[in-house]
Structures are given as structure tokens and as C-alpha cells.
Structure 1
């Protein structure tokens, strides 16, 4: 039997886009529980993750919201209601999910309504906090490796360079690449970052503060690598990337370039350049929208089989404005390794 739902819920959101040091940058709210459309489910949020994109969406700008904007792009919880056309999950199912803050409220709330395609079954071996750490980074990493770089098991033995391999997406992408049999080369500079990325499967770690081409050659890859995944502003690396990639190799970018770059540098080697934008398939309702659900189901299975490790490193409780401001501050310092999750209202 479905539980009786309240009409209002706790949430954390914003009206103005302010520095995180401002107490009004994120505020505690009481808002209406969202209703569900025919293809949606309503999830009671047990845990929500904080990602670098949350801080970018909240970053100072002159806009003012008439109604509060609620951030949060991934989480875990329990299905408590669903629309007539939502048939994949039942009330009471434990799920983890990708949020959709471009058109709806995010996961920094007690309840969130989502297209059921954005959900996956919560890994059985993980807590809600651990599960909440995985959806955004895992979806992005798997989309990059499988869909954009188009790596398959037939590519076993090839090499991939993961720039910022100690980051959220990088630490999942290295695992996905290793599962496909690739040789994984990462980048990090701090001792703790190097240790972290090796923990998640990186075979060789390059120091991104030094010349990557020289280091790659010394590591035995003077001819370059087959794939490059850039999980950082590509501008500092742009002139070097053509030296690192093999002819007819593939490069995938996740982060925006801070300034324009010259793509002609990639022409000589006929390099394929692709982007992964997590929202594309849901925003444009593409015929591959099913990949959200498909990837999250795969991730859940791999975790339960012990073939993919959770990247949660820090948990805070409860979910409120003060803790979310602290979480945003930690993310903005750019020293966070792994994922940061808040749980419980």
C-alpha cells in the first residue's frame, strides 16, 4: 500500500546566485511536494550527492528566481508514487537516480519527481549514501567510454589517457576502461591524488603539472594513446593533445573550454573529437534516452558483482542549508577526492 504523502516537504534552494560564504546562497525551504506526470515516479530522497556542477549552477550572477531553485543532480531513495505510464518500478523499490535540474527541481529535497528513465535499481550491497555517490559520475563515465569513445571488448590492450583520473568521473571511467581491458594512464599531482587514482585501477599516473608528452614517452607510449578522456578544462592541454593521441584516435571532452580552441590541430591525424553532455538525451528527448536507465542498471549490476567500486569518501548529515553550503565550499576548494554525500532530513 502506498504511504500517505505530505503536501509540503523540506528542501534546500536559492533565490539569488551568491558566493557560498553568503548565508543566503543556499537556504532552508518548505515547498510543495511535486506531483508526477504519467511517465514519472516520485522518490523519497534518502541521500543526495554534491558535484562540481552544483557549484557552477549556483555560482554568482545577477539573476533572481521568482520561485526557489532546488539543485542536486544525483541521489538515492525509495519510490513512493508513480504516474500511470511508469511501469518499470513499483512503490517501495529502492533506486538511485540522475537529477534533472534543467527543467525540474533537483535532489536537494525530501521528494523528487523524475522521468523513470533516469532511475536505476539501487545496488543491493550499497547503503543509500554509497548509492547516491554513483549515478551522475557513473552515467557520465560510461557514456564517455561506451557511447562517445565507442570502446568495446574488442579494443582490449589499447590505451586510454584519463586527464583528471582522480576526479569523480575519472575514478569511475578508469574502472570502466579496465573492465574492457584497456591500459589506463591517469593524471594527478598530489601524493594523495596519485594514490587515489591507482586505487581505482590506473596503471600509470602522469603528473599534470609537468610535460605530459615527455612522461608518456618515458612510460612506453611514445606513439601515443588510442583514446583520451578530458575531465578538466581542456585549454591547458590543448596544444599537447595532438602529440598524445594516435592517428585516427578519439578524444572526449566533458568540461567546457575556458577559452576558444583551434580544432585544426587535430586535422593532421584525423582525430575524432566528441563531447559528453549528461543532459542532452533528456533535454532533447532523443531516441537513445533509454541509455540513462540502461547504464544505471549496468552500474548497479557491476557494483553488486564486485566489478565496480563506490567512490564515496565523505558523508554529512542532515541535508540542510548549512551543511550544503559547507559541501559546496569543500567542492569549490578543488581538493576533494571522490564523492561527497549528504543524507537524512
Structure 2
């Protein structure tokens, strides 16, 4: 099968950082589905692993977002059958989606929204699961009754775009997103934010003008170390602070004590990596997201399709994400 691999950690500008290859087609294990990959999207995790994990000459396949068609199933599979259209983010400890075929545990796979094509659907899984888990599983934002105020830092990115939609559509919260350019500000408002502030300016002053009493929940999705002091100041006593990034400097969590602020670190691969008892929750989340999309409540966050899935186009996508200026999600489709 065709695949895009990397064999050594190199800058995305290096032609050898990602290369086209031919690999054996994988076979599904007991609870696996074998998927013919139709489209993928690219996430920061792809670039981080390429930069930090050296395969030492081996063929490592990246990619943790895909939509495709089930072509075979393992002996214990009960959720899917050949011919089903699916979407998923996969598992970080298995081969990724930058290949014509991929095996994925059925418990972390969802049905593809019928109202979306494969490219539109591929933009959603990783960010939707991350945002859902962060909002509802980690921070415990209520879906019924008063939900207070939510601040989403980095609201124009992949996770931010869907987190704003989920918070606006599924809760009664006042949603404040951050963005620093006119284009990204407009995008965040389009996703449903009630207010947008500029994270390059005085975050405390801007947010206080909207929520003088403070914030109940903060989703920090990028550059957390730069905003940490403002986050602590803005959160109400007993507020909840969640993040997904890898801060470039240590966070002084002692500063959270006086307000009894709780800290939640979301990593969407935890369930699949440790085969937790609730691993199938991601199947449920993806199916519920698909239902919301098909009902018109949620929109795909695809903003750019870079063409077919090959090394050249993937290098372009990696470089784009590394520039930290990406709006929504970048996808590739077909081989």
C-alpha cells in the first residue's frame, strides 16, 4: 500500500523529513477495523512526534485524523461492518493514518456524519474528541442549567474552533474566545463565540470588561506559559483550568492554591493508550458529534484542502502548522 513515512527527525523544509513509501497492508486484530483511508487532516501532534521521536531508520507512519471506509473487521468486532463510512483519530501507539489502509480499534471509531464528505469529516475527530473531553469529562461544564463563563485561549485553531461550537450549542455558557487577527476574530465569531478578545493585548483588562466577576472555566489551548498569570487572575475562586499544550516553561501551580483552582490536563490518547474501562466513550462521543453535525448544530472546521495524500503535500501541511498561523483545519484527500 502507499504510505508517507519518516525515518529520521528532520525539519519540514528537508525533502527527507517525510517521504513516499510502499508498505505491507495491515491485518485487523480481534477488535480492529481495517479502514481504507479516504481523507486525513494534520494536527500539531504530527509535527511534534516528527520532531521529537526518531525512528532510527525505520518507517514510521504519522497521522491521527482520518475518514474512510471499513473493508474488513476482526473476529470480535460488533460495532461496524465492511462498507461502513467512519471517522476517527486513532491511537498514538499504533501506525497512523498517512497510509492507504489503517487498523483501528472499533471502540475509538465513530460513524462518519452522512452530511459531510470524507474531507470535511476528516477535519473533526481529534479536535472534537479533545474539545469534548476537555469541556465535559475534565472540566465538568454542565450541559443543563447555568454554566457561567468560558474563556477559550487560542479559539481559532483546530481544537478551539470546535470547542467554541460545542460550548455555544450544548451549554448555556457565555463563550469568550481569543484571536489576534481580523481574519481569526471573524472566524471565532462565526463558530459561535459571544465575544472575542486579543490574546496579544492585556487579557485581564479585556476579559474583565466583559466578565467583571471573573471566569468559571478556562480552556488554554496554546502558549499556556505566556497566559498563565492572566488565567489565574481571571478565574473565579474554585474555578477550573484546563490545558492541552506542552508549556515551554514550568507552570507555578502553587498560584492556584489560594483560589482552590483545579487543574486539568487533557490528552485524548489516554483512553486508547491505557485501554481504560471507558475506552468506548470515544466511539460514543464521535457518534454524538456526527448526530449534531447531521442535525446542523455543528459545522466542519475544514479551511483548506492541500490535495492528495503524498509526502510533498504533507510537508507543506506540517510547515503550515509549525508557523502557528493555521485557521481551523488543513486536510488532504485521496492517494
Identify whether the pair has TM-score above 0.5, normalized to the shorter chain: yes
Aligned twin of 1:16:
8
**Structure 2 residue 74 is the aligned partner of structure 1 residue 83:** yes
Structure 2 stretches of 5 or more lacking a match? none
Structure 1 stretches of 5 or more lacking a match? 1-8
Aligned twin of 1:65:
56
Of 25, 41, 44, the residue aligned with 1:49 is: 41
Give how far 1:154 is off: 3.0
Aligned twin of 1:98:
89
Aligned twin of 2:113:
123
CA deviation string 1:127-159 (max 9, x = no partner):
000000000000000001110111122343511
CA deviation string 1:58-116 (max 9, x = no partner):
1167x34342000000110000000010110010000011122x321100000000100
Aligned twin of 2:130:
140
Give how far 1:316 is off: 2.1
The structure 1 segments of at least 4 consecutive aligned residues displaced by more than 2 Å after TM superposition are 63-67, 153-157
**Structure 2 residue 334 is the aligned partner of structure 1 residue 344:** yes
More strand by proportion, 1 or 2?
1
Aligned twin of 1:228:
218
- Report the aligned-residue RMSD: 1.1
Aligned ranges 1:280-319 → 2 under 5 Å: 280-319=270-309
TM-score by length of 2: 0.97
Aligned twin of 1:191:
182
TM-score by length of 1: 0.95
**Structure 2 residue 316 is the aligned partner of structure 1 residue 326:** yes
- The CA distance in 1 between the partners of 2:144 and 2:255, in whole Å, is 29
Of 154, 160, 179, the residue aligned with 2:144 is: 154
CA deviation string 1:194-219 (max 9, x = no partner):
00000001111111011111111212
Give how far 1:259 is off: 1.2
Aligned twin of 1:3:
none
CA deviation string 1:174-230 (max 9, x = no partner):
1111121211001111110100000001111111011111111212x1211110000
- The CA distance in 1 between the partners of 2:259 and 2:305, in whole Å, is 45
Q: How many residues are matched?
A: 334
